[in-house]
């Protein structure tokens, strides 16, 4: 009998320089299997049952570490030090201006040139979960502070994958981490996510400029961005809206309910349901922002088992701070200091919908 509480690991190829990469597997009593690599602390695969009990992979992934290194899709990775964009690749902290990597036009995207998603993390089993650790040197991508990051993945028997983030720094620095999993609950490679029915508990989102930097807050009421009542992604993608044209689909941060900047409870904020398989995903987080991204940049991306991923082959629900929030007036809560570590908890739960 398999002890589902202990993650097992296997070799998963080599990085240039002969560094071995490993793949760890978490299992639960429902037969779910979640594979996570120490390359990028990446969620590589999540096998979950459909309404008939058949296992299917609900996240997009590549077959090899080399494909992860070559890709710009950030599939399933932990993204940092700063997830999403920082406008002008700069910010000012305690009177000092910091200049960051410009890896998307004049802006920083997802941690800059190196990024946590391409790093090899230390991994160890911890009380049934998997703990990944990464050291990020002062000056990485231009950020101050030597930072030690911890990400703990754990899977329970109800199908909930918890991701608990922590980071410490020896000097003040902004930190904003997220997981960049692309979900496609059909479990069928090569399909799109237009039929998924999504709800997001939010009445506001950030409109973006042509470089996808948030420029103003906008209400969702009466337009394509309103997911307070569940709606199929495809129908909404077809709804004329200048913001969908700019981004080629949804690539926008929703403002989650609650005014607290810190110490927020973990609460359910979004759901996605796939009518074909009956699978349902629930997202809970203590963060203020939720980036809804419909895989608009996917363009013949190498997928699992030789498949290819086209535009809208997957969607992401990335919990974190608001993009470019470090350049907003109210941003002290984003600064990690030696006596103030970074914390985040986000949970993805997979099941079969009650009426499926």
SS3 letters for 268-314? Answer: EEEEEECCCCCEEEEEEECCCEEEEECCCCCCCEECHHHCEECCCCC
Determine if 248 is a binding residue for ligand GLA (CB under 6 A): no
Nearer to ligand GLA by Cβ, of 180 and 279: the residue is 180
Residues 250-269 that bind ligand GLA (CB under 6 A): 251
Nearer to ligand GLA by Cβ, of 226 and 297: the residue is 297
Nearer to ligand GLA by Cβ, of 18 and 245: the residue is 245
Tell which residue, 250, 268, 259, 243, has the closest CA to residue 319. 268
Interaction pattern, residues 314-343, with ligand GLA; x per rule: CB under 6 A? --x-x-------------------------
Catalytic residue among 140, 280, 318, 325: 318
Cis upstream peptide for 81 (omega within 30°): yes
As beta bridge partners, residue 179 has: 78
Determine if 182 is a binding residue for ligand GLA (CB under 6 A): no
Q: 42, 45, 84, 282: which one contacts ligand GLA (CB under 6 A)?
A: 84
Catalytic residue among 117, 180, 252, 312: 180
With beta carbons less than 8 A apart as the criterion, state whether 213 and 243 touch: no
**In this chain, which stretch among 124-132, 164-172, 258-266, 291-299 interacts with ligand GLA, using CB under 6 A?**
291-299
Token pair in block for residue 222: 């009466």
Tell which residue, 139, 249, 154, has the closest CA to residue 194. 249
d(CA 138, CA 173): 10
d(CA 44, CA 35): 5
State the residue for tokens 């941003």. Answer: 331
Residue nearest to ligand GLA (CB): 293
Determine if 74 is a binding residue for ligand GLA (CB under 6 A): yes
Interaction pattern, residues 27-66, with ligand GLA; x per rule: CB under 6 A? ----------------------------------------
Determine if 291 is a binding residue for ligand GLA (CB under 6 A): yes
Furthest-apart CA atoms within the chain: distance in Å: 59
Tell which residue, 182, 179, 209, has the closest CA to residue 320. 179
Q: 32, 73, 108, 177: which one contacts ligand GLA (CB under 6 A)?
A: 73
- Known active-site residue 252: no
Token pair in block for residue 208: 């973006």
Nearer to ligand GLA by Cβ, of 30 and 291: the residue is 291
Total residues in contact with ligand GLA, by rule CB under 6 A:
11
End-to-end CA distance of the chain: 31
Smallest gap from Cβ 106 to ligand GLA, in A, equals 15
Smallest gap from Cβ 191 to ligand GLA, in A, equals 19
Smallest gap from Cβ 295 to ligand GLA, in A, equals 8
- Whether the CA torsion 319, 241, 72, 206 is positive or negative: it is negative
Q: Which residues are catalytic?
A: 180, 318
Would you tell me which residues interact with ligand GLA (CB under 6 A)?
Answer: 73-74, 84, 109, 212, 251, 291, 293, 297, 316, 318
């Amino acid at each position: 009998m398999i002890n589902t509480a202990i993650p097992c690991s296997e070799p998963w190829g080599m990085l240039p320089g002969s560094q071995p990469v490993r793949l760890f597997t978490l299992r639960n009593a429902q037969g779910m299997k979640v594979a996570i690599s120490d390359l990028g602390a990446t969620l590589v695969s999540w096998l979950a049952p459909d309404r008939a009990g058949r296992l299917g992979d609900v996240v997009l992934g590549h077959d090899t570490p080399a494909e992860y290194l070559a890709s710009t899709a950030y599939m399933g990775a932990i993204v940092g030090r700063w997830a999403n964009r920082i406008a002008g690749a700069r910010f000012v902290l305690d009177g000092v201006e910091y200049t960051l990597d410009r890896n998307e036009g004049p802006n920083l995207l997802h941690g800059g040139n190196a990024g946590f998603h391409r790093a090899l993390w230390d991994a160890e089993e911890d009380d049934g979960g998997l703990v990944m650790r990464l050291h990020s040197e002062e000056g990485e991508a231009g950020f101050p502070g030597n930072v030690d990051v911890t990400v703990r993945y754990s899977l329970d028997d109800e199908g909930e994958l918890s991701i608990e983030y922590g980071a410490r720094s020896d000097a003040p620095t902004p930190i904003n981490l997220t997981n960049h999993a692309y979900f496609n609950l059909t479990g069928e490679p090569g399909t799109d996510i237009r039929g998924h029915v999504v709800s997001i508990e939010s009445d506001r989102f950030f409109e973006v400029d042509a470089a996808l930097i948030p420029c103003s807050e906008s209400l969702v009421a009466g337009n394509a961005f309103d997911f307070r009542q569940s709606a199929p992604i495809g129908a909404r993608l077809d709804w004329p809206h200048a913001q969908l044209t700019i981004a080629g689909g949804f690539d926008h941060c929703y403002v989650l309910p609650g005014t607290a900047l810190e110490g927020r409870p973990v609460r359910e904020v979004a759901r996605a349901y796939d009518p074909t398989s009956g699978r349902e995903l629930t997202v809970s987080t203590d963060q203020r922002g939720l980036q809804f991204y419909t895989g608009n940049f996917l363009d013949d991306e190498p997928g699992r088992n030789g498949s290819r991923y086209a535009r809208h082959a997957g969607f992401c629900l990335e919990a974190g701070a608001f993009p470019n929030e470090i350049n907003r007036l109210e941003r002290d809560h984003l600064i990690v200091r030696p006596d103030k570590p970074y914390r985040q908890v986000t949970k993805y739960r997979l099941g079969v919908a009650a009426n499926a």
